Structure 1
């Protein structure tokens, strides 16, 4: 499940933050994919290749509980 995977990511980032100390405040962790999918399902209950992707950012340079988005129509 995504929730379980995000808990793993959280644990990894927490360990990194503890080990970096104050340097974590100037850290940006960036995970992304250039492979996107359309929002609308096709006839086979799947989705087609799309133009969007996903980016997960973490680190001391990112404010807590903040989402950045620029996805017209979503």
Structure 2
């Protein structure tokens, strides 16, 4: 199948396995997005991250993403 325009949204969303919202270590809230493939970082970088950046809650959030079995990547 030839990739089509807009496929990144479908593949990145499908790679998200779990989203945890827990007590943070440095800030009150920690969000951890777990995914099966690195394409899931698109959902963090292009969807979730901009929403948090433009929200007054930003100073209270730690944001992490991780492909299952790999090291976490910190965004906030």
TM-score (normalizing by structure 1):
0.34
* Structure with greater strand share of residues: 2
Query: Which of structures 1 and 2 has the bigger CA Rg?
Result: 1
TM-score (normalizing by structure 2):
0.34
